Amino acid sequence: MESKAPTAPSWKTFVFYILISFLTSLSVFAVLRGASKAKVDKICTKVETPAIYYAGESDRKKTPRGTTSTTESDLVILLWTWPFGERFPLDQCARIHGISGCTFTVDRSWYSRADAVILHHRDVCSSKTQLPQEPRPFIQRWVWFNLESPRHSPNLHFMDNLINLTLNYRRDSDIFSPYGWVERAKSAQNFRIPNKSKLAVWVVSNWDPSLTRVAYFNQLKNHLKIDVYGGGHRPLARDKTMSTISQYKFYLAFENSLNQDYITEKLWQNALLSGTLPVVLGPTRENYERFLPSDAFIHVNDFPSAKELAAHLHFLDANDEQYGRYFEWRKTLQPIGYTDWTTHYCKACQALQQQLDYKTIPSIAKWYK
């Protein structure tokens, strides 16, 4: 019996396979896009779409709700949102920081007369509709305010060709407002290291195994006893944080992102204000030294491995004199680690009065890497 030659697939079969491949690719794309959107939605704060109200000439003498008292010469600064929904007094700049000349408001009906609008990125990064939708008044400046790392700042392209000034922890921002800083003391400081009964501690809220800091911790814990609070570990009440940390000799001030100038309250508040020696993981040592003395911290990059870092910490634990040398700078300098929203907005007030040039930043994303 003759065997039949195999027949070529019909054009209908070919089209069927092409259609199945297309639908499969479309499904995969939708899943990936959905995952990406879910990540952004988790990061970005959900706020209502901005509502703009026109305020006519007859309203110019009125003080809107949520507004500091004003004079004709004051700059009017509109907070487009309360940052993360957190409310605070808007009239504290003169009393706390000695900065005057600005009227702050959260009343969007003043949009048309505002000299500046401050946009807190995490409150407007879900959609462009969260930005002001009305035409911008002449010479009004938009200030991009963000204290989060690039990793946690999605949709920066929303800001293309819209922003005039940046308010950020980076030293090269238009309005430099870091998490903390060091000031020279007016007189010699009699700083005393708190009594220590424990070795090393880490307080972590975001336990993400993909982060560099978690990978380094997993190496370090093999050579050093570390107590971990938060993030699925030991519970720690907020009002007990500083007193708890102060009992330890070393605090792991590990940042969630390794970016230029990204040095947060983990160092300034948790470590320095509690009187504990910070072991830092973040930007380079040279970057840290732009903010505080070189002998005020231990950098993980100073050691070839986590094992050798642990050996150094054990050495300091056994030698009080050597440990104490890391606090010598406290005789003449003092850390400022408690900053709040008022601090950042008051710095904006001061800078806006001094900033005369009008510019537009083409891309925040290209700068903020």
Residue 288 near residue 280, CB atoms below 8 Å? yes
Q: How far is CA 342 from the centre of its chain?
A: 16
Residue 124 neighbours by CB under 8 Å, 6+ apart: 44, 47, 80, 81, 130, 131, 158
Question: φ and ψ at 303, to 5 degrees?
Answer: -130, 140
Q: Which residues pair with 167 in a beta bridge?
A: 145, 175
The CA-based dihedral angle spanning residues 265, 270, 272, 277, taken in that order and rounded to the nearest 10 degrees: -120
Residue 98 near residue 125, CB atoms below 8 Å? no
| Residues designated as active site | 148
The CA-based dihedral angle spanning residues 353, 359, 365, 367, taken in that order and rounded to the nearest 10 degrees: -80
Lookup: tokens for 351: 């800078």
Residue 158 near residue 125, CB atoms below 8 Å? yes
Residue 250 near residue 223, CB atoms below 8 Å? no
Taking the C-alpha atoms of residue 259 and residue 240, their distance in angstroms, rounded to an integer, is: 29
Residue 308 neighbours by CB under 8 Å, 6+ apart: none
The structure tokens 């949709």 sit at 155
Lookup: tokens for 340: 């709040």
Lookup: tokens for 346: 């008051």
Q: What element of type H or E holds 242?
A: helix 241-245
Taking the C-alpha atoms of residue 258 and residue 2, their distance in angstroms, rounded to an integer, is: 72
Beta strands 181-184 and 226-229: pairing type? unpaired
Q: At 280, is the secondary structure helix, strand, or coil?
A: strand
Q: At 249, is the secondary structure helix, strand, or coil?
A: strand
